[in-house]
Chain A
Amino acid sequence: MSFRCAFSVLFPHKAHRNALCALVATLALAVAPTAPAIAAGAQDPAPQTTVNAIEAEVMCPICGTLLELAESPQARREKVFVARLVAAGKSKAEVKDALVAQYGPSVLALPKASGFDLSAYLVPILAIAIAVVALAFSVLRWRRSGREDEASASEAAAAAPRAEDAERLEADLSRYDL
């Protein structure tokens, strides 16, 4: 059975067939402009990140430097590997995961926030916290000593001789002046 015969059997009325044809044509026109974009997208997905952004955050494990600064043969291969993944539309996290799978965790410029590597983040925070506490103690102590100095100064001022006593003292001292 030909397609035309089957179409006639399914839709015996000409008006129905015409209406269906119009609907199909409208749908085809609506989809047509997006079709090349969909086809292009399937072949060449839009990059989600850039090669430079990745290279600034990962290492060349052999060189011990950031990949963006490295020019060794291994670094060049690693750069090609990154570029291929970026061109394939992988996100930054996906590219980094792929790099770790291929080159091991030492490829990451930043240590992971788990296991012993977590100490790389915790130690500076702890050090800053300890420094803040130490500074706070020092300030409190300094202020307390300042208040004590003021108190002793006022005590000293209170203990200072009055004018007539001072005059008498001067007179007494001048009497013994040699």
Chain B
Amino acid sequence: MSLRSLLAFLAVLAVIGLLAFGLLNKGATKVAVGDPVPDKVLPALPGPGHGSIADYRGKWVLVNLWASWCIPCREEAPVLQRFYERNKPHNTTVVGINVQDNEGDAAAFLREHPSAYPQLRSIGNERSAAFGSIGVPENFLVNPKGDIAVIWRSPVDDQILRERFLPLIKAKS
């Protein structure tokens, strides 16, 4: 192989490598029912302190991704608070994860829509990417073993929670 051919080959290889790297990085993580829930220790909202979904292993956890600028999240907040209050005695909790937001706005949202359940904060879209999120709000039911049982990529209301989430919790509790 001549030097010129070798250089051309290396150049083509470099371009293909860059394209492949870009595609691999661009592709959002996919999560599916049955997968372990993506988890990470995050700052509590409002601080101080930290928390993670793993802190509630052994319980059913409804993970709610939300942002203060998201209008459906405002309508969903009291629904989730009611769900938490009703199902807390049944080994169930809710964990809110604030994403793609700034801390001041998120804290103001929580003052306006108080929640008794734990809230965590993700910087930027880091957690959204981990959940393969396409928007906010999104909800994930995690079983006591830490695996995803339900993926609901839109707001929930009382009816959806009653029909799609509660049967699983009641069946296996």
Contact = CB atoms under 8 A, between A and B. Distances in A.
B135 to A, nearest CB: 9
Contact of A78 (B18, B102, B125, B126): B102
Interface string A82-110: 00000000000000000001111111000
B91 to A, nearest CB: 34
A74 B67 contact: yes
Nearest to B103: A102
Q: Is the interface of A mostly helix, strand, loop or mixed?
A: helix
Residue of A104, A106, A123 with most partner-chain B CB within 10 A = A104
B124 A107 contact: yes
B41 to A, nearest CB: 17
* B contact residues, range: 10 to 19
Contact of A101 (B69, B101, B123): B123
A105 B124 contact: yes
A77 B126 contact: no
A104 B105 contact: no
* A contact residues, range: 10 to 19
B4 to A, nearest CB: 10
B69 A104 contact: no
A61 B70 contact: no
B100 A62 contact: yes
Residue of A74, A78, A103, A105 with most partner-chain B CB within 10 A = A74
Contacts of B16: none
Interface of B: 18, 67-71, 100-105, 123-126
Q: Which 7 A-B pairs have the closest CB atoms?
A: A104-B124, A102-B102, A73-B69, A77-B69, A74-B69, A103-B124, A104-B123
14 contacts: A62-B100, A62-B125, A72-B69, A74-B101, A77-B101, A77-B102, A81-B105, A101-B123, A102-B103, A102-B123, A103-B123, A104-B123, A106-B125, A123-B18
